[in-house]
Structure 1
């Protein structure tokens, strides 16, 4: 699942007429980088949620056939936050574990390894496997602590930042009501306290493309690489 329902307030005015995942970087929309990299790792079934300007996303990506994948759309009347959006999409995602990626990050993660991690999840636990990255300048306090045994904890130091990439078992969202906004962090912290969240430290490229400045910087980096 690619999360694409956010309004992108920090990206305004760019997002007044274009959904944030469709903003171009390195010659193509940000979300297309995800689709192509996921397809290269063997993913062919996608669910994408949307709210703000969702029709623009559907018009641009269609059913996914142009990329060699199949896209199922999960529209939201109003954005349901991360956990709420995933809960709303569960009928499309099915009963097996799945991978979820924020539509507004740029990352060279090993998606095949994340797929393997997803296959290890179960209703009995672990319920989630997260990618963590070094704390960026705009989030120096971090989010969670990664222990030596691979479990992630809500408390303690040193802390790393959640990359917005993870694998989840549907049971993590079972207690949420549909069509109700809900954030992901409280669910994850509850599961962490039960010892049911694992993860790994991604040390490669990762950028939270959350502002016009960071978008422009990434675009310049990709242009130089070409």
Structure 2
């Protein structure tokens, strides 16, 4: 199974750190955020990785190179203009092949054991969900008996973690350009094609200076 890290975001809320540094290379405990993913993927047995990028993306290529020092083969999907989540994945599909692949947002920090997602996919997508953080109490989706549905009033919701396994067939009717991933997932949910799981371990959406500081504290506590 191949993996893809979404790394094209500009990181507006992390300015001024992201004025001259792409968000995935912002450091926590002296290590770029994306490197935590890269090393965890290698440790989990992944060998082929695709990374998309836009804002200052050449810096990401210069830092990670071809991936050999991590035990990986890294291919890059450069976006002249940001294509959002769905469009970025769609452009990278030729690099990902025709089999399901692991998708990870480059701006999260987690200790999720990625090896657990290297298993056959039934349906079009499998999402890792987490308890709703303070900055997103409304949540995104509902999880029942291993199936994911869109959030509904009166039902317990969970937040999409930015980790998933996707089948390329999810994008069968898409065209090149900028578009979001969420509508594709919601459409697949109506067909019962999206499974999911709840993850209760370490997970931080590193979108602000405060949450970056939270990651620093977590790493410091681990020594």
Tell me the TM-score normalized by structure 2. Answer: 0.96
Task: Summarize the alignment of residues 138-177 of structure 1 with structure 2, pairs less than 5 Å apart.
Answer: 138-147=135-144, 149-156=145-152, 157-177=155-175
- Residues 1:93 and 2:93 aligned together: no
Runs (4 or more) in structure 1 with deviation over 2 Å come to none
Q: Which residue of 2 aligns with 1:220?
A: 217
Match of 1:198?
Answer: 195
Displacement of 1:90 after TM fit? Answer: 0.3
**How far apart are 1:26 and its partner, in Å?**
2.3
Cα-to-partner distance string for 1:99-148 (whole Å, 9 max, x where unaligned):
000000011112111121xx224xxxx1000000000000000000001x
Shift of 1:212: 1.2
- 1:25 counterpart residue number: 28
TM-score (norm 1): 0.94
Any stretches of 5+ residues in structure 1 without a counterpart?
none
Q: What is the Cα deviation at residue 93 of structure 1?
A: 0.2
Distance 1:37 1:217 in 2: 20
2:49 pairs, out of 46, 50, 58, with 46
* Cα shift at 1:192: 0.4
Q: CA RMSD in A?
A: 0.9
Tell me, yes or no, if the aligned pair for 2:126 and 2:166 is still in contact at 8 Å.
Answer: yes
**1:223, distance to aligned residue in structure 2 (A):** 1.7
Counterparts of 1:120 and 1:103, CA distance in 2: 22
Q: Which runs of 5+ in 2 are unaligned?
A: none
Tell me the SS of whatever aligns to 2:136: coil
Residues matched between the structures, number: 218
Indicate the SS of the match to 1:220.
helix
Which residue, out of 69, 92, 98, partners 1:66? 69
**How far 1:14 sits from its partner (Å)?**
0.7
Do 2:128 and 2:196's aligned partners in 1 also have CA atoms closer than 8 Å? yes
- Equivalent of 2:58 in 55, 58, 65: 55
Between the aligned partners of 2:10 and 2:91, the Cα distance in structure 1 is 18
CA distance in 1, matches of 2:90, 2:6: 12
Q: Deviations over 1:44-78 (max 9, x none)?
A: 10000000001100110110011110100000001
Secondary structure class of the residue paired with 1:16: coil
Whole-Å separation in 2 of the counterparts to 1:120 and 1:198:
9
